[in-house]
């Protein structure tokens, strides 16, 4: 799911949400999230108006309504700034 109608702290933000069945809280998904930002999300932001200043990648163990609390769900979030055609990880 791509969400672009909510601004982030840096301005326009493109949010990409993925369902990952079986996702476990102790997993380290950072390498997968970086790869998805670079190879999947970044190309899909080309030509967006306004141009996003940030990409947020979300993994969840199930489909969840955006912005609603789900304390029993496993979710990971990573934010990336866009520099020179690359996703640069930011502390989220």
Instruction: Encode pLDDT of 20-44 as tens digits.
Output: 999 999 999 999 999 999 999 999 9
pTM attached to this predicted model: 0.85
Summarised one tens digit per residue, pLDDT across range 73-85 is 999 999 999 998 8
The full DSSP string for 20-83 is -TT--TT---HHHHHHHIIIIIHHHHTT-SSPPSEEEEEEESS---TT---TTS-EEEEEEEEE
Residue 47 has pLDDT above 70, yes or no: yes
Virtual torsion, Cα 18, 20, 21, 24, nearest 10 deg:
-130
What's residue 71's pLDDT?
A: 93
pLDDT at 9: 60
């Amino acid at each position: 799911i791509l969400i672009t109608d909510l601004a982030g702290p840096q301005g326009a933000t493109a949010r990409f949400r993925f369902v990952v069945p079986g996702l476990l809280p102790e997993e380290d998904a950072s390498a997968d999230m970086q790869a998805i930002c670079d190879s999947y999300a970044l190309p899909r932001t080309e030509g967006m108006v306004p141009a996003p200043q940030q990409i947020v990648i979300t993994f969840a163990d199930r489909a969840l309504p955006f912005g609603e609390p789900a304390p029993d769900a496993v979710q990971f979030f990573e934010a990336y700034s866009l520099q020179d055609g690359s996703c640069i990880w930011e502390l989220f």
